Structure 1
Amino acid sequence: MLSFFNDVEAAYERHIQAERLLRSYAAFKQVVPGKGEEKRIGREFETVSGYSLYRAVQEAKSKGKGSISLGK
């Protein structure tokens, strides 16, 4: 799970390969399979960090390949 959070942070602070983020998301989903729990964890993470798990995963899914960066 920690590697997924680190990858989301990388997407906001630098850039990351979409494939890597999607792989770490798949590993995260093995630990947290339920949507409700995923949303709760996502809200808590966003409150603490300011980074959206949902937005990062959606960007990686839409990009598919290559690098993504969500930084401002």
Structure 2
Amino acid sequence: MEYQYPIDHDWSTEEIIDVISYFQQLEKAYDKGVNRDEFLAAYRRFKEIVPGKAQEKKICDEFEEVSGFSSYHTLKAVKEKNSDEIVKMK
């Protein structure tokens, strides 16, 4: 994929890596499917870094604009599944 991940330059290197990891889980959900529990673990870490709803929406909207992958719809689908189920977005 030829796009950049939305990052905040105030984040530490570890935080940037963890946010990118979340977006990679999001990409995987659309590509081949993602394990529900792994996705939620990545999302929980993402929320530790981006705790505010407004900032989360801004970052996720920026990512959706460049990638076409919806964090909101994926998270909604993931929450409807049971533990260890695979979520595949269309």
TM (norm. structure 2) is 0.76
> Stretches of 4+ moved more than 6 A in 1?
none
Distance 1:53 1:64 in 2: 19
What is the RMSD of the two structures over their aligned residues, measured on CA atoms?
Answer: 0.7
Pick from 30, 33, 40: which aligns with 1:15? 33
Q: Which residue of 2 aligns with 1:59?
A: 77
TM (norm. structure 1) is 0.94
Unaligned segments of structure 2, at least 5 residues: 1-18
Q: CA deviation at 1:64?
A: 3.1
- Whose RCO is larger (CA < 8 A, sep 6+)? 1
Distance 1:64 1:25 in 2: 16
Give the total of aligned pairs. Answer: 71
Work out which of the two has the higher radius of gyration on C-alpha atoms and give 1 or 2.
Answer: 2
Distance 1:55 1:27 in 2: 18
Q: Which residue of 2 aligns with 1:70?
A: 89
Unaligned segments of structure 1, at least 5 residues: none
